[in-house]
Structures are given as C-alpha cells and as structure tokens.
Structure 1
Amino acid sequence: MASGAEAKKVLFICLGNICRSPTAEAVLNHVLKQRGLEGWEVDSGAIGSWHVGLGPDRRAVNVMKRHNIPMDHKARQLTKEDFNHYDYIFGMDHENISDIKARAPKTYTAKIELFGSYDPKKELIIRDPYYDDDDKGFEKCYEQCLRCSEGFLDSLK
C-alpha cells in the first residue's frame, strides 16, 4: 500500500443518506484509488428511513460527475451490526453523532467520530445541502469531504 495505511472499514452516516454521506463515500473511494490503497470497505447509511432504496440526490450526482468521481449507492439505514463490522463510523454533524450513539448497542468496536474533525481547515460540520435550490452547497460538501478524506488517510500514516 502506497501510504502504509492498513485497509479499514469505514461507514459514513447522515440523516437521509442521499446527500452528504454518499458524497463522502464516493470521495473517499476516489482518494483511496488515487493513492493506490486497496482492500478498503467504504459504505454510507442514514439515520432515518425516508430514502431507503433510492439513489443519491441528483445534485450530488451532478457534482460528482463534474469531478469525474463515480457515485453508485442506494440509501440504507444504519444497523446494529454496523457497530461491530466497521472500524470507523463517521457522522456529518453533531446531531448525527448523537443519533448514532443513541442507536449503538451496549458494546461495539467501531470508532464513532465527526468526519469534519479531519478537516485541515477545521470546518467540523459537513454542510447539509439538501434544502438548497442549486448545486453550490453540494460543491461545498464535496470540497469538505475531499479535505476530510485526505486528512483522515494522512492521520493513519
């Protein structure tokens, strides 16, 4: 492996799993590929069940296409099994972290962290662009996820 980072299992969680978390999933997979890192398992899920089975928001897909990053995901909800399957469960904001911890079994092995804690610009909250009228918030979300993905991988060296 190029950076010496051991393969991990990473799960991104946001409220509905159609904006921020599938963007983070796609971006981390892209950065892993760029770095020549193999064997990682990266997925994303939701706190709520509203969008289960649906693809990402069209605006998220458009932003990923502009950056030549493949995005192929169907929304799913966080499960109890996820807490012992994944090494890291990343929430996009403090409310996500609270919801994740509230759904956790009594014992689990995953590290639950705010994805933004890896942002070198210290923007802790990954912007939720769901209610925006255009792609600008999705572009911001992409930029944050790119910085956080790089920062996370760099922290494992």
Structure 2
Amino acid sequence: MKLLAVCLGNICRSPMAEGALRARLDAAGLDWVETDSAGTGGWHAGEAPDRRAIACARGHGVDIGGLRARKLKASDFEYFDWLLCADVQNLIDARRIAPIGLAEKAVLLLDWAGVEPEGEVADPYYGDTSDFERTWTEVDAAAQRIAVRIGNTQERVSWERP
C-alpha cells in the first residue's frame, strides 16, 4: 500500500502526517506500507519542513528534518493508493489534477482514518507552538488508526473506505 499525505505547501501538515504515519506503521511492523507527502502548491518545492513542524515532530520522537517539499502531480494518482488530504480545499485542488477515473483516491485524512467524519487537520502555519501540537495530535491520531486498520486487514493493495 502506498499513502500520500497532502496539504497546501508541504511544509507543515503533510510532512508531519508523513512522519507520524511512518513512525506508527514502522512500530506496528508495517514497514511495507510506503509513505510520502506533497503540497497542492509548489512555492516551497525543495525546502525542508517548517522549523516549527520539525521541532514539534522531534518532540514526539519523529525526525522529519530530511524531508523536502514537492508539488502534487497527476502521476501521484497513478502511483499512490490513497492521497490523504489535510482539508477540503486541498482535497478539491488535488482532485482537479487527477487523471480521469482516479479523483476518488483523494480523501480527507481524518475522515479516511476514522478519526472524524469530514474532519480537517488544522493549519498551524500562522500559529504558535500550541497550534503545531494540535496538528501533531490530529495527524498522529490518524496515523494510529491507520496502522491498526492496516494491521487488522493485512491488505497490501487496496482498501475500501470504512
């Protein structure tokens, strides 16, 4: 299974989600699940995550400092099984570039993980440390649920929504 976390600039929410997913999946022995992240906007391409996101993840034992931002591309819909979007606007923007018949691979992260129906991950960019902690709590809760669900199903190819 291949999972892509998606947010706007790929420097806060989606790299934090990628890091949380990687950590939770690895801890559950699900290292065969591939994770990555991207942004619907490309202005941060090549940059490391926001220093506050790096510090927050590090505080939870997860290193995301080596990640680099990249822009979402249409071919991501062909490569990844699921594109896990942080919020509705990024979901809409992601689906706009999807090849015909693949738009439904883009879903809301918190909804797909079973954390919160139609839930959106808070954008901490204009906030402070507490906002980054809130975002971490949300993406880590999603990562925990995803690890449990994948571990329970042992499905390596595709996965229906709950």
Question: Shared fold by TM > 0.5?
Answer: yes
Aligned partner letter, 1:16: G
**Structure 2: 5+ residue runs without aligned partners?**
153-162
Residue 45, structure 1, aligned to residue 38, structure 2: yes
1:129 matches 2:124: yes
Distance 1:100 1:69, change over 3 A: same
Give 3-state SS (helix, strand or coil) of 1:45's partner.
strand
Indicate the residue corresponding to 1:102 in structure 2. Answer: 96
* C-alpha spacing 1:47/1:109, structure 2 compared with 1 (3 Å): closer
- Following superposition, the deviation at residue 113 of structure 1 comes to 0.9
- Does 1:24 pair with 2:4? no
Overall identity of the aligned pairs, in %: 34
Kept after mapping to 2: 8 A contact 1:10/1:86: yes
Number of paired residues? 149
- Give distance in 2, aligned partners of 1:153 and 1:67: 17
Match of 2:75 among 77, 81, 85: 81
* Shift of residue 105, structure 1, vs aligned partner: 1.2
Post-superposition shift, 1:121?
Answer: 5.5
Q: Which amino acid aligns with 1:53?
A: G
Contact 2:110 2:117 in 1 (8 A): yes
Measure, in 2, the Cα distance between the counterparts of 1:37 and 1:105: 29
1:153 aligns with 2:147: yes
What are the within-5 Å matches in structure 2 for residues 56-71 of structure 1? 56-71=49-64
Deviation at 1:122, TM superposition (A): 5.3
* Distance in 2 separating the partners of 1:96 and 1:109: 12
Tell me the equivalent position of 1:144: 138
Runs of 4+ in 1 over 3 A off after TM superposition: 119-123
For the 8 Å contact 2:108–2:118, the answer to whether it is kept is: no
Alignment partner of 1:113 is 2:103: no
CA deviation after TM superposition for structure 1 residue 119, in Å: 4.6
Q: Is the 8 A contact 1:23 1:142 kept in 2?
A: yes
Unaligned runs of 5+ in 1: 1-7
Aligned residue type for 2:78: N
- Secondary structure at the aligned position of 1:155 is classed as helix
TM-score for the superposition, normalised by structure 1: 0.89
